[in-house]
Structure 1
Amino acid sequence: MSNTDTVYLAYDYPVLGAFLTALWVFLWVLWVFLLFRIVVDIFRDDTMNGWVKTAWLVFVLVLPFLGVFVYVCVRGAGMGRREATHAKAQRAEFDDYVRKTAAGGGSGTSGGAADELAKLADMKNSGHLTEEEFQRAKQKILS
């Protein structure tokens, strides 16, 4: 291969071409993200039955550009509300879990009841409760 056959790619690929390539890659990633977001929204929506979800899913996957455009036009306003509702539900579940864990209840009420019974036994052993008071309080906790 002689010196005249050498190809310099930097000279054959101008800056505008590199910019347009980066733009197309960005748009493609944005498109995949939007498609994924719409598929998640289809499955998350509790107001649609299974057949309607299937129809939207087939429409979005078979004719993706038209399907996404129509979905965003028809159901786009509700996407934000459904996302906010889902986020609130997740936050409420997390807060409930933290409250139960911080109270010593663990994942159920048995840890809380066991803690209460241990406190009652300590109070009985120290003489602060009579046997009758201990039995009444124990029945109250276990019921």
Structure 2
Amino acid sequence: MSFWDIVWFIVIFFAFASYLLVLFSIVADLFRDPEVSGGMKAVWVVCLIFFSFITAIVYLIVRGRGMNERSAKKYAEARQAQDEYVRDVAGGSTISAPEQIAKAKELLDAGTITSDEFTALKAKALA
């Protein structure tokens, strides 16, 4: 096996791996899009199986811009959900300190928390 055979193998392998990534991203985008009917999804998948290269090129030309927009929308939704989760876990930072202290006082009066826990919650709210 010569040096150029190895280089050629690497180039072919890279092209094949890239092609597989494009196919997987097309299939993922196709099934992620709620606007496409089930029948059209089936047609796209069958065409991808039998005429894969030409179908991938047609899909990228016809729906390429939408792929990017849907991907950006999903990313924004995931980011917003993550931010909301972090706010919820962080102790409700949207609640002001007096409101947090008032809620802690209610818990203390109800006997749900001890005075030491109330003091810790109050210090956390004021910090």
TM-score for both structures, normalised by structure 2: 0.72
Answer yes or no: is 1:119 the counterpart of 2:101. Answer: no
Q: Distance in 2 between matches of 1:124 and 1:32?
A: 61
Q: Which is greater in Rg?
A: 1
- Structure of greater relative contact order (alpha carbons < 8 Å, 6+ residues apart): 2
Q: Distance in 2 between matches of 1:84 and 1:119?
A: 44
Structure 2, unaligned runs of 5 or more: 93-100, 112-127
Match of 1:89 in 2: 77
Alignment of 1:1-143 (within 5 A): 13-103=1-91, 118-122=104-108
Q: List per-residue Cα deviations over 1:61-83 (Å, max 9, x = no partner).
A: 22211211111111111111111
Structure 1, unaligned runs of 5 or more: 1-12, 105-114, 126-143
Give runs of ≥4 in structure 1 deviating > 4 Å.
Answer: 115-118
Aligned residues: 104
TM-score for both structures, normalised by structure 1: 0.64
Q: Distance in 1 between matches of 2:48 and 2:76?
A: 28
Q: List per-residue Cα deviations over 1:75-119 (Å, max 9, x = no partner).
A: 111111111001001111111111111126xxxxxxxxxx97653
How large is the Cα RMSD of the aligned pairs? 2.4
User: What is the deviation of 1:39?
Assistant: 0.3
User: What is the deviation of 1:60?
Assistant: 1.3
Identity within the alignment, %: 31
Q: Distance in 1 between matches of 2:49 and 2:89?
A: 43
Q: Distance in 2 between matches of 1:60 and 1:21?
A: 25
